[in-house]
Structure 1
Amino acid sequence: MITKIATTAVYVDDQQKAKAFWTEKAGFDVFAEREMAPGSYWLEVGPKGAETALVIYPKSMMKNWAELKPSIVFVTDDIKGTYQTMKDNGVEFEGELNEMQWGTFATFKDDDGNSFLLKG
Structure 2
Amino acid sequence: MAATDWKIELIFVPVSDVDRARDFYVDQVGFHLDYDQRVSDELRFVQLTPDGSACSIAFGTGLGVDMPVGGQRGIQVVIPDAEAARDHLRANGVDASEVDEQAWGRFVTFSDPDGNRWTLQQMPQRG
- The two structures have a TM-score, normalised by structure 2, of 0.81
Letter in 2 for 1:73: Q
**Runs of 4 or more consecutive aligned structure 1 residues displaced over 3 Å after TM superposition:** 60-64
Q: Matches of 2:68 and 2:93 in 1, distance apart?
A: 25
Unaligned runs of 5+ in 1: none
Aligned residues: 118
Q: What's the CA shift for 1:37?
A: 2.9
Matching residue of 2:45: 42
Of the candidates 96, 109, 120, which is equivalent to residue 107 of structure 1? 109
- The two structures have a TM-score, normalised by structure 1, of 0.85
Greater helix content: 1
1:4-30 Cα shifts (integer Å, max 9, x gaps):
111000011111110110011111101
Q: Matches of 1:75 and 1:110 in 2, distance apart?
A: 18
1:61-87 Cα shifts (integer Å, max 9, x gaps):
547422893210011112111111111
Letter in 2 for 1:108: F
Percent pairwise identity: 25
Q: What's the CA shift for 1:113?
A: 1.1
Matching residue of 1:3: 6
Matching residue of 2:119: 117
